Amino acid sequence: MKSIVSVAVFLVASAGFAEDQQNNREQNLQEQKAFVSQILDKRIASLNEKKACVSAAGDREALKKCHEELKDDREAIKQEVQGYREKMKAQHEERKAEREQKKAERERQKAERKKN
């Protein structure tokens, strides 16, 4: 009887966990899509500005200045993307550590139940 109740509780908890996990995945996907869209908009805006700069350039020095500005913009966007990736990696590592901790706790509880 005890095992039937514990199995039922486990199944209910698992179903709730699976639903939460699916919601988190959807939320993460939406966040990633928004970030990528934002980065693409920045790149497009930068390219359009530099295209106008190149069109307006009257000599080689002005053209060179446009090129340097484009390089600076690309580097700034690259740094932003790297920061985002590092943030996501840290979150992933944090979730992984939590999963490992929960797994160890379940193993400990399982060992205790076997002793009793």
Q: What is the pLDDT along the chain (116 residues), one digit of tens a residue?
A: 555 555 455 555 555 555 677 788 899 899 999 999 999 999 999 999 999 999 999 999 999 999 999 999 999 999 999 999 999 999 999 999 999 999 999 999 988 888 87
Pairwise CA distance, residues 94 & 63, whole Å: 47
Q: How many domains does the chain have?
A: 1
Domain that holds residue 25: 2-115
DSSP 112: H
Are the CB atoms for 53 and 73 separated by under 8 Å?
no
Q: How many CB atoms lie within 10 A of CB 66?
A: 19
Pairwise CA distance, residues 21 & 31, whole Å: 15
pTM over 0.85: no
